[in-house]
Amino acid sequence: MKMILFFYIAAIIGASILLHQEPKLEESIQRGAEIYADFCVTCHMGNGEGVPYTFPPLAKSDYLMNNREASIKGIKYGQQGELTVNGIVYNNIMDQLGLEDEEIADVMNYILNSWGNSSDQMVTLEEVQAVTK
């Protein structure tokens, strides 16, 4: 009986966190879509498919999904040099974009939840602020 009660409470708390987060995540993704269209689409393309051997894909990208902090860092400070994405080695340069931390969180949430990507954990402003050079 105690166990059941424990799970019940845990489930309620879990659901309330999820439900509370979802509209926030949804809004962040929507803002992120706009940032994506302004800053990212010219290289990473409309469906996050990138350009093989030139600009790495974001859609179903193993690098993006497994390297959350490094991805935030790349957007925040720019990126240069070799990078392996889905088995292809890229060696290019992404300029520092000049985005605000809030915008970086939004665009991260957008790319983590688009084109077949999905992530349970929302990227927050605090998380972006914590990433340093």
Partner 1 sequence: MKKSIVYIYLIVVTLNFSCAQDAENEVGTPSNIPFTAELLIDELQIPWGMTFLPDGSMLVTEKSGELIHFKNGEKIAISNVPSIYARGQGGLMDVVLHPNYSDNGWVYFSYASEEGSEKGGHTVITRARLQDNSLQDIEVLYKATPNTTKGQHFGSRIVFDDEGYLYFSIGERGARDVNPQDLTRDGGKIYRLFDDGRIPEDNPFVSTAGAKTAIYSYGHRNPQGLTKHPETGRIWDHEHGPKGGDEINIVEKGANYGWPLITYGINYSGTPITDKTEMEGMNQPIHYWVPSIAPSGMAFVTSDKYKGWKGSLLVGSLAFQYLERLTLQGSKVTNREKLMGDLGRVRNVRQGTDGLIYVAIEGKGIYKLVPKD
Residues that bind partner 1 (CB under 8 A): 37-39, 41-43, 45-47, 51, 54, 80, 92-93, 95-99
Name the minimum Å distance from CB 65 to partner 1.
Answer: 22
Q: Which is nearer to partner 1, 2 or 133 (CB)?
A: 133
Question: Residue 34: which region, alpha, beta or left (left: phi > 0; alpha: psi -120 to 50)?
Answer: alpha
Distance, in Å, from the CA atom of 79 to the CA atom of 108, rounded to the nearest integer, reads: 15
Instruction: For residues 51 and 57, give the distance between their C-alpha atoms in angstroms, rounded to a whole number.
Output: 7
Of the pair 90, 122, the CB lying nearest partner 1 is at 90
The C-alpha atoms of residue 110 and residue 2 are separated, in whole angstroms, by 41
- Output 39 or 63, the one with its CB closest to partner 1: 39
Q: How far is the CB of 92 from partner 1 (least distance, A)?
A: 7
Q: What's the CA gap between 118 and 31, in Å, rounded?
A: 17
Q: Which is nearer to partner 1, 28 or 103 (CB)?
A: 103
DSSP label of 116: T
CB of 86 to partner 1, least distance (A): 20
3-class SS of residue 93: strand
Nearest distance, CB of residue 26 and partner 1, angstroms:
20
